[in-house]
Amino acid sequence: NAGVTQTPKFQVLKTGQSMTLQCAQDMNHNSMYWYRQDPGMGLRLIYYSASEGTTDKGEVPNGYNVSRLNKREFSLRLESAAPSQTSVYFCASSEDPGAARSYNSPLHFGNGTRLTVT
Amino acid sequence: AQSVAQPEDQVNVAEGNPLTVKCTYSVSGNPYLFWYVQYPNRGLQFLLKYITGDNLVKGSYGFEAEFNKSQTSFHLKKPSALVSDSALYFCAGRGYQKVTFGTGTKLQVIP
């Protein structure tokens, strides 16, 4: 099983350029997430999608857009990159808590995209 | 609202000694708590989760976690550290549709 696959692994952008980070999971999970990881700040949620066709803002959504293309894929777009968006980006997925509201399902992470904006 | 805190940026321990990585939480209602490990240039990997009623939870690679409701803590432990355990460890709490992570603790196991 591939699990969660992210592309690209590395990217360098100039300020103002745009790009899309791709994420796909093969575990039939409903919920998908985008996080950014910065030194000393842990992981911060950018956007999440509880199911196909729905997306919601997380802690740090400014400067980003997302698309839940289908159940498998959840992409993150930077329309006009800024140096403050230099970070490592992680996509994750998890089972849907469901009607029982049981939140014991762990997140499954991709290996990340290391983005540098100059 | 929920939050988790990891008070130590780094923990150093000699190989073969027991290790503890600390986590405290603040949640309303039942806590849903997890530990993850991150190796260099990799994503986070699930280690273990709190199961309601179990004060000692066992997970992958010989790790376990001790839940203490009165101290609102969920500390990660291992009886005998290995050099290969050196990594970044994250505590996390899960609520409705969201997961909140601590800032991470770097574990260095010294040969």
Question: Is B95 in contact with B32 (CB distance < 8 Å)?
Answer: yes
Q: Is the per-residue pLDDT at B25 higher than 80?
A: yes
B43 has a chain A CB within 8 A of its CB: yes
Report the mean per-residue pLDDT for chain B. Answer: 92
B28 touches chain A (CB under 8 A): no
Contact B44 A48 (CB under 8 A): no
What are the chain B neighbours of A50 within 8 Å (beta carbons)? 97
Query: pLDDT value at position B2?
Result: 76
SS3 of chain A: the string is CCCEEEECCEEEECCCCCEEEEEEECCCCCEEEEEEEECCCEEEEEEEECCCCCCEECCCCCCEEEEECCCCEEEEEECCCCHHHCEEEEEEEECCCCCCCCCCCCCEECCCEEEEEC
pLDDT at B97: 64
Residues in B closer than 8 angstroms to A101, CB to CB, are: 96
Distance CA A116, CA B85 (A): 29
A-to-B residue pairs, Cβ atoms closer than 8 angstroms: 60
Tell me whether strands B19-21 and B73-78 are parallel, antiparallel or unpaired: antiparallel
Q: Which residues of B touch A45 (CB under 8 A)?
A: 98-99
Residue A50 pLDDT: 86
pLDDT 10s digits, A90-118: 999 988 765 455 577 889 999 999 999 99
**Each residue's pLDDT tens digit in chain A (118 positions)?**
679 999 999 999 999 999 999 999 999 998 899 999 998 888 999 999 988 889 999 999 999 999 998 999 999 999 999 999 999 999 999 887 654 555 778 899 999 999 999 9
Select the residue of B96, B98, B104 nearest A45 (Cβ to Cβ).
B98
From A8-12, A90-94, B27-31, B77-81, the region with the lowest mean pLDDT: B27-31
